[in-house]
């Protein structure tokens, strides 16, 4: 009797797993004993999101049994519900107790408990430990012949692998899971639900096309319901957002997303599913600026919130709805409060903005909800928009419901949003009090995602109240929390990835602004400001790469290794100013401020890039190049001369990263920076490259290239590169010169020889110090659209990383130089340079030489010949070799920057 009971309970546990959550398992019939009845009651409460009630019931069940197997199971239940309640210490104690009581002859139950332990590690920001537990659980599931459980923990493993930086392994894992699903599961609601979960994970790790494909397949099944269409809508929305970011047409994705949400609404069998789909549709309409449709949907939804059951999911729905109401109500946002994304500007709202009344009148004891959940009357030509008072009353009700449910996270969200409402209406004191209350609740629950938001909000409010020192402390706390949170945010939330500039960047930039305006004379504050920007750029790279990057070197360590002929320049874009930090040998960081907005600076940089690539406006080119020179370099030119600087290393920000600093123009001397007596190099960050010189530079070169026209390589066509063959003979010609005789040891792969397999074989066979790839490539802020062309395939960042890891393991030394010739950054993509930086960082090479645009083929060959000729000379740095090679093009080919300005050296310049 007991074994059957345990078997039934174990199967029901599938409903509580981290990823796979199939609702029909909640209908399992348990053998009727006092303990099993309590377990079932607890499951019912848990699956209705009534976690405190489930906790009480399972604690009672624990007191009524002496069976160790039952106890292990109940402790596992308790750990799961305690995780939901943010009771991390209690959750750890419960899972430890479950493991102590765990019977060794029950692989099914062992797998369940290990899965729960993995979830706890994941929630605590320990993905490596989570991965280990999920790997063990998967093996036990197979041992117990539980394919469904193995699929769930397999999906969990893929998420952990992605976070830890093993993108290729994560993708392989998910492909293997799909193959397993197709092999083991017949057409059924179980298969569709599993496809749904797989599609969600594909989207979360940034593989939007894979997510779209598998969800599209699932919608064609006769078992497809509202859930699958809702998931497809979310993926189509992510594709639409991505298209906007990359400057592409998003119309079809937008239409598909709205249609998918509508289909989910029509097929919904429960009010909860219907409301969820409508809420997603509402927030998307607001983002699109389609306010008429959004207001109509808001009016339709509002009455549905009058009689919601008391549960966490209903409170979350209320919070979601209220956030949309806020974004409709405060569309002009005069107080610059973050939180609402929009693709286009909206009309002025001055005619209908209303401040909420004093909070004491409704926060403590809100009136009956029926009096304020109805649609407001027509106001200022925008009918149906809730007033500030009505939204605030909604939030006050959520506070009350959260207290009844003892849900501190929901209460923190509601109080924080209420504080945001006051911030939006300029009532700083009330906003601050509510924010502090919300922050205290978040701290008590160890909710890092809420905590950083309310610390940031508190910092903004303190600054607006004229308390800069307190504001700085609050901002620093927010940055510290964000650092802990990054492993959770970056790879597992597509919305966070797409809204990085709205959700992450401002915290760092606003703190930098505070430090330089309120504590400008403090040299330590300037150094701290630089450290913050460096950390931001590391976070940005992690966001792009969908993985954690462990800083290899400290900023101080790298600064100490700089020679006395190198200066660092950090331009930082703040909303209303440009701040340029500089560091010269044996000096502290200094800064100066240019009173130009971020928008203006990036517009000038964009115009300059257009001027260069189109080659149609020489006067405009010089004007824009002069503006940037005057802002970035002119104020420190005297120091450059006095310190006899030979190399300037830029750590660039924003769209400035798409401009080669060598093209800036000194109008007084009528010369480009290229013509000045110093070299230029670029770092994406001060923590990910070793800036020390190599003691013994080797010139063992592996060259690979594609000269032929290539068609339909993953849907793309590539033109012929007629000078590639000559480029791959550069080293042979240099070796014939008496000055460079036998300096270069070379192997080459041309056209059909240049495959991923051949490249990997070469790198395994012997060590190389230089990998030179002369082929088409593109850098984009989309990881999947950043690639290098091989003969029949596109090499993505993770494949390049794996190749160079093979090289580094073989030679027991880092690759010194990766050269990417004939590549370009994606047009229309203001963050495409992240692709180049991402390749440079993930490759593991000490330096990367590449191009910002696809430079003339012949010019590239001439430049590369001069570069290697200079590089072979004693005591010539890579930055100096590049500088000399660019000057060669300037003097002998064409003085227009298009021909020589696109080359960028990233990483170690020595």
Q: Are 113 and 103 in contact (CB under 8 A)?
A: no
- Per-residue pLDDT of 788-813, as tens digits, reads 999 989 998 878 887 877 766 665 56
User: Which of 208-212, 350-354, 527-531, 737-741 bottoms out in mean pLDDT, i.e. has the lowest?
Assistant: 350-354
Residue 552: DSSP 8-state: S
Q: How confident is the model at residue 346, as a pLDDT?
A: 32
Give the residue-averaged pLDDT of 755-773.
91
Strands 647-650 and 566-574: parallel
Quick one: tokens of 20? 């796979």
Instruction: Identify whether the C-beta of residue 312 lies closer than 8 Å to the C-beta of residue 51.
Output: yes
CB 675 within 8 A of CB 890: yes
Label residue 236 by pLDDT band (50, 70, 90): very high
Predicted local confidence at residue 772, as pLDDT: 95
Q: Where are the beta strands (DSSP E) in 806-902?
A: 817-825, 847-851
φ, ψ dihedrals at 310, nearest 5°: -80, 105
3-state SS, one letter per residue, for 95-125: HHHHHHHCCCCCHHHHHHHHHHHHHHHHHCC
Q: CA–CA separation, 114 vs 109, rounded Å?
A: 9
Superfamily of domain 1-184: Tetratricopeptide repeat domain (1.25.40.10)
Mean pLDDT of 728-741: 83
**Over 80: is that where the pLDDT of 162 sits?**
no
Find residue 671's DSSP bridge partners. 666
| Assigned token pair, 735 | 């070796």
Work out the average pLDDT over 108-123.
Answer: 91
pLDDT band at residue 836 under the 50/70/90 scheme:
confident
Contact 416, 338 (CB under 8 A): no
Contact 573, 653 (CB under 8 A): yes
| pLDDT score of 428 | 93
pLDDT category at 338 given cuts 50, 70, 90 is confident
Matching CATH number, 555-682, of 3.40.50, 1.25.40, 3.30.420, 1.10.15: 3.30.420
pLDDT at 740: 63
Residue 128 backbone class (left: φ over 0; alpha: ψ -120 to 50; beta: rest)? alpha
**Above 70 in pLDDT, residue 774?**
yes
pLDDT value of position 902: 93
8 A C-beta contact, residue 536 and residue 475: no
Provide CB contacts within 8 A for 757, sequence distance 6+.
none
> Quick one: pLDDT band at residue 629, thresholds 50, 70, 90?
very high
For the chain, what are the domain ranges? 1-184, 555-682, 700-907
In this predicted model, what pLDDT tens digit does every residue of 871-907 receive, in sequence order?
998 889 999 999 999 999 999 999 999 999 999 999 9
Lowest mean pLDDT among 77-86, 175-184, 732-741, 818-827: 732-741
Average pLDDT over residues 732-750: 84
Q: How many helices (H) and strands (E) does the chain have?
A: 37, 17
Distance CA 759, CA 773 (A): 11
Mean pLDDT throughout 279-306? 90
Q: What is the pLDDT of residue 434?
A: 96
pLDDT for residue 359 = 35
Q: Which residue has the tokens 């027991």?
A: 812
Query: What is the pLDDT, as a whole number, of residue 169?
Result: 83
| pLDDT (tens digit per residue) in 390-424 | 888 889 999 999 998 888 889 999 999 999 999 99
Task: Report how far Cα 186 is from the mean position of its chain's Cα atoms.
Answer: 36
What's residue 15's pLDDT?
30
- pLDDT above 50: residue 374: no
Please say whether the beta carbons of 318 and 353 come within 8 A: no
Long-range contacts of 727-730 (CB under 8 A, 24+ apart): 727/703, 727/774, 727/821, 727/860, 727/861, 727/864, 728/703, 728/704, 728/772, 728/774, 730/861, 730/864, 730/865, 730/868
Model confidence at 503, pLDDT cuts 50, 70, 90, reads confident
Q: For residues 610 and 898, what is the distance between their CA atoms, to the nearest angstrom? A: 10
Max avg pLDDT among 15-24, 733-742, 770-779 = 770-779
pLDDT at 741: 67
Residue whose tokens read 């506070």: 399
Distance from C-alpha of 253 to C-alpha of 242, rounded to nearest angstrom? 10
Of 123, 119, 99, nearest to 110 (Cα)? 99
Count of other CB atoms within 10 angstroms of residue 764: 12
With CA atoms as reference, report the closest residue to 218 among 197, 241, 236, 238. 197
Do residues 421 and 386 lie in contact, with contact meaning Cβ atoms separated by under 8 Å? Answer: no
| 749 contacts: CB under 8 Å, gap ≥ 6 | 702, 703, 704, 705, 755, 758, 759, 762
Q: With 0-12 CB in 10 A as exposed, 13-18 as middle and 19+ as buried, what is 350?
A: exposed
Burial class (CB in 10 A: 0-12, 13-18, 19+), 560: exposed
Element (H, E) at 665: strand 665-666
Q: How far apart are CA 734 and CA 743, in angstroms?
A: 8
Query: Residue 820: how many CB atoms within 10 A of its CB?
Result: 24
pLDDT greater than 60 at residue 372: no
Above 80 in pLDDT, residue 473?
A: yes
Q: Which residue has the tokens 């798409």?
A: 658
Residues 6 or more apart whose CB falls under 8 angstroms from that of 573 comprise: 509, 598, 601, 602, 653, 654, 656
Of the candidates 303, 292, 297, the residue with the CA atom closest to the CA atom of residue 261: 297
The fraction of the chain above a pLDDT of 70, given in percent, is 87
Judge whether residue 361 has pLDDT over 80.
no
Residue range 421-444, pLDDT digits in tens = 999 989 999 999 999 999 999 998
Q: What pLDDT sits at residue 216?
A: 95
The β-bridge partners of 906 are: 682, 848
Mean pLDDT of the region 117-132: 87
Predicted local confidence at residue 811, as pLDDT: 57
pTM equals 0.81
Give me the DSSP letters along 336-367: -------SS-----TTT------GGGTSSS--
Q: In which band, very low, low, confident or very high, does the pLDDT at 386 lie, cut at 50, 70 and 90?
A: low
Residue 149 CA to residue 647 CA, distance in Å, equals: 57
Under the banding of pLDDT at 50, 70 and 90, the label for residue 823 is confident
Q: What's the confidence (pLDDT) of residue 334?
A: 80
Mean predicted confidence (pLDDT) in 471-483:
94
Q: Which two tokens stand for residue 705?
A: 């290239």
Residue 907 pairs in a beta bridge with 847
**Residue 10 predicted with pLDDT over 50:** no
Rounded Cα distance, 648 and 563, in Å: 11
Over the stretch 637-686, which tens digit does the pLDDT of each residue have?
999 999 999 999 999 998 899 899 999 999 999 999 999 999 999 998 88
Q: What is the pLDDT of residue 158?
A: 87
Q: Which fold has domain 700-907?
A: Rossmann fold (3.40.50)
705 three-class SS: strand
pLDDT at 19 over 50: no
In 571-603, which positions are buried (b, 16+ CB within 10 angstroms) versus exposed (e)? bbbbeebbbbbbbbeeeebebeebebebeebbe
**Residue 415 token pair:** 């109080």
pLDDT averaged over every residue in the chain: 84
* Distance from C-alpha of 871 to C-alpha of 851, rounded to nearest angstrom: 18
pLDDT at position 765 over 60:
yes
Could you tell me how many residues make up the chain?
Answer: 910
DSSP assigned state of 712: E
d(CA 490, CA 743): 44
pLDDT of res. 499 = 62
- Judged against a pLDDT cut of 80, whether residue 553 lies above it is answered with no
d(CA 455, CA 508): 12
- Within 10 angstroms of residue 906's Cβ, the number of other Cβ atoms is 24
pLDDT classification of 722: cutoffs 50, 70, 90: very high
Query: 10 Å Cβ neighbour count for 406?
Result: 13
């Amino acid at each position: 009797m007991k074994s059957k009971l345990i078997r039934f309970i174990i199967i029901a546990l599938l409903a509580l797993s981290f990823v796979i959550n199939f609702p029909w398992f909640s209908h399992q019939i348990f053998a009727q004993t006092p303990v099993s009845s309590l377990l079932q009651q607890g499951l019912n409460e848990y699956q209705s999101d009534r976690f405190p009630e489930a906790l009480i019931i399972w604690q009672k069940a624990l007191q009524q049994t002496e069976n160790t197997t039952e106890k292990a199971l109940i402790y596992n239940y308790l750990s799961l519900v305690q995780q939901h309640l943010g009771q991390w210490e209690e959750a750890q104690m419960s899972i430890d107790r479950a493991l102590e009581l765990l019977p060794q002859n029950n692989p099914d139950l062992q797998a369940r408990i290990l899965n729960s332990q993995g979830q706890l590690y994941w929630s605590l920001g320990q993905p490596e430990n989570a991965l280990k537990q999920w790997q063990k659980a998967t093996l036990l599931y197979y041992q117990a012949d539980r394919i469904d459980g193995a699929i769930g923990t397999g999906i969990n493993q893929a998420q952990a692998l992605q976070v830890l930086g093993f993108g290729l392994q994560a993708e392989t894992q998910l492909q293997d899971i799909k193959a397993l699903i197709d092999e083991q599961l017949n057409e059924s609601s179980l298969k569709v639900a599993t496809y749904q979960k797989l599609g969600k994970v594909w989207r979360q790790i940034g593989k939007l096309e894979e997510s779209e494909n598998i969800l599209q397949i699932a919608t064609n099944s006769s078992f497809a319901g509202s859930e699958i269409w809702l998931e497809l809508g979310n993926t189509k929305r992510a594709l639409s957002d991505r298209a906007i970011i990359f400057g592409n047409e998003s119309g079809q994705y937008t239409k598909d997303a709205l249609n998918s949400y509508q289909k989910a609404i029509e097929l919904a069998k429960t009010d909860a599913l219907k409301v969820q789909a409508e809420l997603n549709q509402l927030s998307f309409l607001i983002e699109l600026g389609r306010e008429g449709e959004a207001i109509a949907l808001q009016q339709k939804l509002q009455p549905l919130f009058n009689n919601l059951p008391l549960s966490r999911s209903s409170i979350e729905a209320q919070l979601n709805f209220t956030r949309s109401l806020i974004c409709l109500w405060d569309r002009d946002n005069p107080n610059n409060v973050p939180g609402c994304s929009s693709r286009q500007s909206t009309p002025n709202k001055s005619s209908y903005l209303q401040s909420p009344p004093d909070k004491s009148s409704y926060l403590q004891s809100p009136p009956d909800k029926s009096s304020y959940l109805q649609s407001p009357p027509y106001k200022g030509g925008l009918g149906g928009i809730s007033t500030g008072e009505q939204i605030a009353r909604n939030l006050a009700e959520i506070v009350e419901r959260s207290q009844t449910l003892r849900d501190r996270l929901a209460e923190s969200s509601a109080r924080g949003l209420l504080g945001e409402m006051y911030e939006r209406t300029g009532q700083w004191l009330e906003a601050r009090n509510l924010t502090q209350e919300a922050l205290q609740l978040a701290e008590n629950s160890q909710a890092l995602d809420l905590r950083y938001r309310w610390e940031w909000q508190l910092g903004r409010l303190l600054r607006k109240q004229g308390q800069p020192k307190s504001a700085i402390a609050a901002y620093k706390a927010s940055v510290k929390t964000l650092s802990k949170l990054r492993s959770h945010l970056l790879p597992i939330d597509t919305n966070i990835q797409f809204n990085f500039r709205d959700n992450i960047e401002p915290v760092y930039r606003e703190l930098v602004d505070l430090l330089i305006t309120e504590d400008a004379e403090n040299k330590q504050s300037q150094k701290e400001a630089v450290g913050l920007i460096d950390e931001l750029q590391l976070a940005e790279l992690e966001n792009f790469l969908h993985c954690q990057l462990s800083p290899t070197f400290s900023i101080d360590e790298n600064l100490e290794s700089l020679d006395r002929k190198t200066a660092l320049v950090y331009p930082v874009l703040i909303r209303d100013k440009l701040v340029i930090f500089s560091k010269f040998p044996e000096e502290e960081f200094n800064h100066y401020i240019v009173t130009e907005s971020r928008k203006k600076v990036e517009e000038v940089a964009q115009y300059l890039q257009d001027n260069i690539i189109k080659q149609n406006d020489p006067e405009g080119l010089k004007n824009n190049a002069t503006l940037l020179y005057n802002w970035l370099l002119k104020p420190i030119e005297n120091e450059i001369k006095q310190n006899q600087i030979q190399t300037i290393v830029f750590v660039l920000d924003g769209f400035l990263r798409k401009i080669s600093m060598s093209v800036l123009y000194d109008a007084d001397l009528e010369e480009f920076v290229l013509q000045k007596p110093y070299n230029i190099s670029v770092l994406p960050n001060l923590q990910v490259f070793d800036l020390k010189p190599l003691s013994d530079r080797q010139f063992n070169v592996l060259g690979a290239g594609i000269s032929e026209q290539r068609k339909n390589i993953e849907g793309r066509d590539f033109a012929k590169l007629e000078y590639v063959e000559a480029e791959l003979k550069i080293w042979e010609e240099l070796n014939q010169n008496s000055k460079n005789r036998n300096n270069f040891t070379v192997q080459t792969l041309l056209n059909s020889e240049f495959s991923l397999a051949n490249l990997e074989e070469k790198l395994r066979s012997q060590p190389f110090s230089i990998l030179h790839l002369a082929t088409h490539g593109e850098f984009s802020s989309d990881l999947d659209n950043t690639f290098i062309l091989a003969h029949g395939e596109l090499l993505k960042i993770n494949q390049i990383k794996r190749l160079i890891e093979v090289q580094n393991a073989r030679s027991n030394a880092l690759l010194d130089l990766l050269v990417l010739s004939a590549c370009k950054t994606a047009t229309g993509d203001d963050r495409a340079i992240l692709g180049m930086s991402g390749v440079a960082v993930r490759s593991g090479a000490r330096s990367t030489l590449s191009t910002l645009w696809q430079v003339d083929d012949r010019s590239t060959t001439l430049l590369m010949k001069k570069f290697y000729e200079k590089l072979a000379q004693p005591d010539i740095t890579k930055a100096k070799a590049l500088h000399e090679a660019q000057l060669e093009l300037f003097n002998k080919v064409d003085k227009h920057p298009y021909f020589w300005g696109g080359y960028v050296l990233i990483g170690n310049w020595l």
